[in-house]
Amino acid sequence: MKRLTRPIKKPPRLLISAVIIFFTFFCGGKKVKQEDNFTKLRELMVKEQIERRGVKDKRVLSVMRQVPRHRFVPEELQDEAYNDYPLPIGEGQTISQPYIVAIMTELLGLRGDERVLEIGTGSGYQAAILAHLCKEVYTIEIIEKLANAAKERLAKMGYKNIFVKWGDGFEGWSEYAPFDAIIITCAIPKVPPPLLEQLKDGGKICAPYEKTSGVQILALFEKKGTKIDTNYIDYVRFVPMRGKIEEEK
């Protein structure tokens, strides 16, 4: 028995073009509109949450307007990315609220030619902010999954001056020391000695310091020879530093 076959007709070119235009206009247009909305939310975030609270460094304010914070949080939380609170990023960790990121960055007093060490990469957002303000950022994350995700995310976003390492931040990153500044994005009971050794004379460390059990305060430590000057800024709440520092308590 012969099977009759008919050639499959190709859709008219006009129809194909119409389909392409439909998806480009509606899907692409929706994405553009969403990005425009995020841009407006970033501007509002800087104005209401950061400038109003006293952050004055124009370079910091400019970068906070530029870096898309929504790309550093889980997709289901992107609509909350520019709100005034931290957000979970998995593995029991969080991305700090925008104001805290801004004030910690401002306290370092970066000019553009520095080499900065970050302890606690998390999502990579703080590292991205720093990357616009200094020469190089070396960032260490103790949770392998977060370190790998941040490294991939930052690479996709085109950052060439951020170097991510999976490891214990307590030990620092001696191969690239000394550092002009160090930022610690997890609470510490004391500054790890290796970090002080890897900090340049005159350099600064900004970190949430746990003065007493359960009470944290943002502190700025400045190295002056063998002396460390300490200034306390404001009360904060961060996840605790993990790893070797837990043995030091």
CB atoms within 10 A of CB 126: 24
- From first CA to last CA, the distance across the chain in angstroms is 86
- Distance, in Å, from the CA atom of 100 to the CA atom of 233, rounded to the nearest integer, reads 11
Residue 132 DSSP class = T
62 carries an active-site annotation? no
Structure tokens at 4: 């009759």
> Backbone phi, then psi, for 9, in 5-degree steps?
-75, 130
Could you identify the residue written with the tokens 């998390």?
A: 122
Are 142 and 215 in contact by the 8 Å Cβ rule? The answer is no
| Catalytic residue, candidates 96, 123, 174, 213 | 96
- Distance, in Å, from the CA atom of 136 to the CA atom of 114, rounded to the nearest integer, reads 7
- Alpha-carbon separation of residue 149 from 125, 155, 170 (angstroms): 12, 10, 21
- Distance, in Å, from the CA atom of 179 to the CA atom of 201, rounded to the nearest integer, reads 9
- Distance, in Å, from the CA atom of 176 to the CA atom of 138, rounded to the nearest integer, reads 8
Within 8 A by CB and 6+ apart from 222, the residues are 202, 203, 204, 205, 228, 229, 230, 231
Question: Catalytic site residues?
Answer: 96
